[in-house]
């Protein structure tokens, strides 16, 4: 089933919603961006391939690789919203991010090798950017790549690598010129994750699951033809590909609205000292304040989407959407646990836990959203300096 340009957005939304209902391998059992269990991987590969095959992903790709060659942000936003609303699995891994880099900067050989395998989900990619000393300040990365003949030898450590334990290929940034200014001398690579010297170690988080990994690189040899773009131009490659990752803006608003609906349902069925919790004026005020925050975050998301569609983006758009989303999401999770009273201490697996422990897990995970993708404190500085043009503090 291919997309027909004449379809209006509301018809398209209905088409996407029906596709998800018919084809999705089920809802995500936990909140947030989570790694699946190993036994889920075959179904999720098939689901990712189905989304590409239907044209719901990769529509903007060149026609030679299955796309239309035309970006349609409005439809991309609709797909992201409907996936979030249904709590369906997104495409696993960083394949869409890597594809953006390959399409813009990759060699013809790289495109011919990797793009079809991304569309078929034969390859799951992971993003090997962050390091223990280079998170929000990514340009401070210290993983080194030195050239030896027709290969690069890479040493270093990456961390917070989502789906690293499932990945076939890594989109890696490493420093090839240690004497260059920190935003230069960085090179992007496509790394086969089964290369000798690559050691993936899952991190056990407070949720009890392992969604992230640390990746150790010890004398890893990568052929020179796996450099994406020019040597030393990795910072531009990475920023360009990250700039194409816009659909998440739409997903955030839809996710919050779904949480608000679930929260109201939870509140209607919760009791404290034998009385419905909604009889308490303080509880109603707290829900009201949260509802206002959720709708503000959703409207900010829609305003950012509109500017993206019309090419009038502002420097503050994405940072502010992320800040408002992550803080409203945290408040929703806190309230979801609080509304359960002492039952909020129950965990997944307890026969009396509400919603299979979804709110407790969401509470444990929610703080990560205020840090991942740029800590909110750093993003506030971005807004101040790049959007409001405020002066830096002199020290």
- For residue 173 the two structure tokens come to 């940034």
Cα separation, 350 vs 380, in Å, equals 40
105: which 2 tokens? 């900067």
Rg of the Cα atoms in the chain = 22
Alpha-carbon distance of 245 to 390, in angstroms, equals 27
User: What is the three-class DSSP state of 300?
Assistant: helix
Q: Exposure string (b/e) for 29-56, b if CB count within 10 Å is 16 or more?
A: ebbbbbbbeeebbeebbebbbbbbebbb
Using an 8 Å Cβ cutoff, are 336 and 264 in contact? Answer: no
Q: List residues with catalytic annotation.
A: 245
Could you tell me if 153 and 221 are in contact, meaning their C-beta atoms sit under 8 angstroms apart? Answer: yes
H helix or E strand, kind and range, residue 172: strand 169-175
């Amino acid at each position: 089933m291919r997309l027909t340009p004449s379809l209006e957005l509301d018809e398209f939304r209905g088409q996407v919603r029906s596709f998800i209902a018919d084809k999705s391998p089920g809802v995500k059992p936990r909140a947030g961006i989570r790694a699946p269990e190993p036994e889920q991987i075959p179904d999720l590969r098939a689901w990712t391939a189905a989304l590409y095959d239907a044209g719901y992903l990769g529509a903007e790709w060149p026609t030679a690789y299955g796309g239309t060659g035309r970006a349609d942000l409005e439809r991309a936003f609709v797909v992201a919203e409907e996936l979030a609303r249904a709590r369906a699995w997104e495409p696993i891994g960083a394949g869409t991010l890597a594809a953006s880099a390959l399409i813009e900067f990759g060699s013809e050989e790289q495109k011919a090798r990797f793009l079809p395998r991304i569309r078929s989900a034969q390859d799951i990619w992971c993003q090997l950017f962050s390091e223990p000393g280079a998170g929000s300040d990514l340009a401070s990365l210290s993983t080194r790549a030195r050239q030896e003949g027709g290969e690069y030898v890479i040493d270093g450590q990456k961390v917070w690598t989502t789906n690293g334990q499932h990945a076939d290929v890594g989109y890696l940034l490493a420093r090839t010129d240690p004497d260059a200014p920190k935003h230069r001398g960085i090179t992007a690579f496509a790394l086969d994750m089964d290369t000798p010297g690559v050691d993936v170690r899952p991190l056990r988080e407070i949720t009890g699951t392992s969604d992230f990994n640390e990746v150790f690189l010890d004398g890893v040899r990568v052929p020179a033809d796996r450099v994406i773009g020019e040597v030393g131009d990795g910072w531009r490659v990475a920023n360009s590909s990250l700039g194409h990752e816009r659909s998440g803006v739409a997903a955030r608003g839809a996710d919050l609205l779904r949480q608000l609906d679930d929260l109201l349902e939870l509140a209607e069925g919760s009791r404290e000292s034998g009385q419905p919790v909604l009889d308490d004026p303080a509880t109603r005020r707290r829900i009201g304040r949260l509802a206002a925050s959720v709708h503000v975050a959703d409207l900010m998301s829609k305003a950012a989407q509109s500017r993206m569609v019309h090419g009038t983006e502002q420097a503050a758009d994405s940072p502010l959407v992320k800040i408002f989303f992550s803080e409203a999401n945290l408040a929703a999770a806190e309230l979801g646990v609080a509304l359960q009273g002492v039952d909020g201490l129950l965990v997944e697996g307890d026969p009396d836990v509400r919603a299979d422990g979804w709110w407790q897990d969401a509470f444990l995970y929610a703080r990560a959203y205020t840090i991942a993708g740029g800590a909110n404190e750093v993003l506030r500085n971005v807004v101040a300096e790049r959007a409001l043009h405020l002066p830096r503090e002199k020290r």
